[in-house]
Amino acid sequence: MSKYKLVMLRHGEGAWNIENRFCSWVDQKLSADGLKEAEECGKKLKSLGFEFDLVFTSILSRSIQTAWLVLRELDQEWVPTQSSWRLNERHYGALIGLNRAELALNHGEEQVKIWRRSYDVSPPPIAVSHPYYQEIHTDRRYTTCDIPKEILPKSESLKQVLDRLLPYWNEVIAQEIKNGKRVLISAHGNSTRALLKHLEGISDSDIVNISLPTGVPVLLELDENLHPVKPHEFLGDQEVIRAAIKKVEDQGKVKPSDN
């Protein structure tokens, strides 16, 4: 029987989601549509009667802005929020800022899928000369993490995302859920995929086929040991959600006009 309900989300659309560029640890804000998606997400959760006691976000603006907007729509702005780099999007290393369709043209769609969705392949690390290295790695927020900024990742596979996320899940989030707090996690496509993989026991090969749309709440019902009692559920119009997932998958394909 379900004892706890955990709601997770990938933030609303960001500016670089529209441009089809890997955003990762670059701190892009939500686009105009992304702001609306986050509000719609809050309205959806309100219509279903969700109440939260604690919200977790990454330390990237798009996840924090999404959490604010969801809480505002829920009339629950007072709910405490905790932010950790451990919920950040996957560090995409040297791929940060690059356009996925152009990469598919130059390296093949299969290679782009491996970079985006495989479990244990890391993209090449970000070099100091990379155009976004300074912006990311000298940012003051990364001096506030629970590890020295020198040893923060310079690129990550999904497995490495899970490795850095799990201590935070086990020691902080899971404890709060077991203490009865109703938790919302406003994070990113790949940090959410990593957590879903862990909680649902999704295999290394099956996780390749899971992509998450922006701004759609994902509900996971858990038993007293935080094991799911049924598969995760996307809340909302299922046809619209299927189309949004396909759009995310297609981002890694060559654009017909580029052929």
Ligand X SMILES: O=C(O)[C@@H](COP(=O)(O)O)OP(=O)(O)O
Instruction: Tell me how far, at minimum, the Cβ of 103 lies from ligand X, in Å.
Output: 10
Nearer to ligand X, 74 or 212 (CB): 212
The residue from 37, 73, 89, 156 that is catalytic is 89
Instruction: Tell me how far, at minimum, the Cβ of 13 lies from ligand X, in Å.
Output: 8
Q: Let me know if 39 is a catalytic residue.
A: no
For ligand X, what does the binding mask look like between residues 89 and 118, x meaning CB under 6 A?
Answer: x--x-----------------------x--
240: helix, strand or coil: helix
**242 known ligand binder:** no
Listed in sequence order, the DSSP H helices in the chain are 15-18, 32-47, 61-73, 100-107, 109-117, 133-137, 158-168, 174-178, 189-200, 238-250
Exposed/middle/buried for residue 171 (C-beta within 10 Å: 0-12, 13-18, 19+)? exposed
CB 62 within 8 A of CB 28: yes
CB 188 within 8 A of CB 87: yes
**89 known ligand binder:** yes
Asked if 52 interacts with ligand X (CB under 6 A), we say no
Tokens in use for 41? 């997400």
Asked if 156 interacts with ligand X (CB under 6 A), we say no
Q: Which one of the spans 13-21, 66-74, 143-151, 156-164 is the region binding ligand X (CB under 6 A)?
A: 13-21
Q: Let me know if 89 is a catalytic residue.
A: yes
In the set 12, 123, 189, 215, which binds ligand X (CB under 6 A)?
A: 189
Interface positions, 196-255, toward ligand X (CB under 6 A): 248
Dmax (CA) of the chain: 55
Asked if 190 interacts with ligand X (CB under 6 A), we say yes
9: helix, strand or coil: strand
CA atoms of 249 and 215, how far apart (whole Å)? 16
**What amino acid positions are annotated as catalytic residues?**
11, 89
Q: Which residues form the interface with ligand X (CB under 6 A)?
A: 10, 14, 16-17, 22-24, 89, 92, 116, 188-190, 248
Q: Can you say which residues are annotated as belonging to the binding site? A: 10-17, 62, 89-92, 116-117, 189-190
